[in-house]
Amino acid sequence: MRIHSETKINKIKEMRQAGLSINEIVDALTIPKTTVWHHIQNVDIAPNILEILKSKRGGSAVRSRKEWVEAENKAEVILSSKDSKLVISAAMLYWGEGGKKVCDITNTDPKLIQLYLKFLYDVLGMNNDNIKFAVRIFTGMSSEACLKYWSENLKVDQSKFILRYNDGGISGKAKYGICRITLKKGSRILKLMHSLIRLSFSDIMGFKIPVAQWINHRRGTGEMYV
């Protein structure tokens, strides 16, 4: 089963042909880096655009390191704020349920989603225009009932939700489907969440883990997460 629509795949290719880097496409479309890489392999790119792409190489690594420093500094500030209890709760929640490569969280429990949204709204100052809401349902479920359930529990208008049917090709047991919220252009917030988790863990356990080591642990690889 195709996970991404033909429209999105074509958009990936068009953005690459226009000279956008893989990271820029990932941020714009909120999709995994591996997905972008897969779909740009056979894209024809004009010579002048190739020069633009070459000029961007290396710059993304520098930008990423800068964003990591900013994330670490911001994490320390908000962990010391009056909202520290909410911040730590959201960090631990994200550790268990959040994405590693895309800033998203997926669950069947609306209260879990409510807590994470409260963190985004109250601590990070976000609003629903910064967030993509999606509900995945399966054959036999009432789309109206599922959308109503999530809309009422999260206090988000139904028009904000994207409804996905049988995504992944498996059946589901959740009565009202599975809700996924994804941050638009969420790469900086993803780094912030990883920093919050690392700092919270270090404080609780009483020893510090270097940033690079923690990132490698989260990825499950020996590569730097950038």
For residue 186, the model assigns a pLDDT of: 87
**What was the pLDDT predicted at 119?**
97
Residue length, the chain? Answer: 226
Q: Which segments of the chain have a pLDDT < 50?
A: 1-2, 169, 221-226
- How much is the pLDDT for 178? 93
Per the structure block, which two tokens stand in for 103?
A: 């800033």
Tell me the C-alpha distance between 175 and 13, whole Å.
Answer: 37
Both structure tokens of 160: 């904000």
Q: Can you give the pLDDT at residue 6?
A: 84
The pLDDT assigned to 221 comes to 46
pLDDT, residue 199, reads 92
Query: Taking Cα atoms as reference points, which of 53, 21, 23 lies closest to residue 225?
Result: 23
Using CA atoms, how far apart are residues 19 and 103, in angstroms rounded to an integer?
24
pTM (2 decimals)?
0.70
- At residue 190, the pLDDT reads 92
- Evaluate whether 91 touches 214 at the Cβ level (below 8 Å): no
List all residues 6 or more positions away from 123 whose beta carbon is below 8 Å from its beta carbon. Answer: 78, 81, 83, 86, 87, 90
